Amino acid sequence: MSAEYATFALAPAIRAGGVLADGGYSVHRDFMDFIVDGRPLLFQLSDLDAVSPLASDIPPAIFTRQVRALLLDAEAPLPGGRYVIYGCPECEGLGCGAVTAVIERDGDDIVWRDFAWQTDETADLELNGYHGTGPFRFRADEYRTELERLLDGEDGRPRRRVLLIGARVAVLARLAAALRTIGIGADITHDASTVPAEELRAYGAVAFGPAIGAPERAAVRAAFASAGVDVAYVDGLAPVIPLLVAQVEHALDRGPLERRRLTGLTATGDEASVTVTSACRVQLLAYRLDRLHRTHTQHLFDGMLEPGTHRIPLDGRAVKGQSFVVARATGGVLVAPVVR
């Protein structure tokens, strides 16, 4: 086992939810990710749709128990001293599969080793081991300090509510319902100045409809500034619910670019330019409004991309007129208008 030390840290991350083209949806999850040597550990595990056990939407008692387990203050939940590092974002069982590892003390150090994909009580390292991942040796004081911050309430977990401001009440109501379906709280108002400061602090983003003018937007920004709240502001591109949901999801991801997989998206009538920081599956969808303002959706691309910027040809018929492209990858989503 290597005696070299790896650095250990925690950082907020999301599993982006969304309203899917087939009418289904994926749930939004906020969680604290493990940052090993300055890079999310999840990025080292191929294209894995998973979250850590340190999710913001689990009850406080369970969250504390998960932290205590990682601190080795409790027995390992799985045989062989194994702990769940990443699990299914939709459920809590092993049936869907989970990344597990042995976590143990070694003198004054903490070691994570023998990473594996596990679907039942026993891990088969030969068949399902992540042979190129770990072992990682952490200094115990650094490791404990990071995890104990979560017990002190200094975790920086994000605010998962969105304030919707617009003139089209029907669209706002449908958007709020869609956001709530995927696990994001949403409220509708026309005047944020009347909202108490303590309520404003619950929001992580504000979404404006296109009919909201500059004076109204300035008043909303002033209300949040007066309350000392730093929120993301979203300018709704079009009254297309999946598109607006994707914009809100992107706004709620406040992590630095270097800790995201999907970092760039532009689109013309001929091609889309997509930038990713690690190998991952990327899906591209087009949303087009016709002359009668009906929405048309078309899948443009679905495949694995290596790190870098990629130019993907587009079907011109799918992006004619007023059109938008949504790119999705594990843990992130981007939206771009088609520019000619």
pLDDT in tens, the chain (340 residues): 445 899 999 988 888 888 877 777 888 888 999 999 999 999 888 778 899 999 888 888 888 999 999 999 988 889 999 999 999 988 777 888 999 999 999 999 999 999 999 998 888 888 888 988 989 999 999 999 999 998 876 555 556 789 999 888 889 999 999 999 998 999 998 777 778 888 888 898 999 988 889 998 999 999 999 988 889 999 988 889 999 999 999 998 877 777 888 999 999 989 999 999 988 899 999 999 998 889 999 999 999 999 999 999 998 888 888 999 999 998 889 999 999 7
Tell me the pTM.
0.82
Sign of the four-CA dihedral 129, 77, 93, 253: negative
d(CA 333, CA 248): 10
Q: Which two tokens stand for residue 328?
A: 């999705």
On whether the CB atoms of residues 14 and 28 are closer than 8 A, the answer is yes
Counting Cβ atoms within 10 Å, is residue 108 exposed (0-12), middle (13-18) or buried (19+)? exposed
Phi, psi (5° rounding) for residue 291? Answer: -65, -20
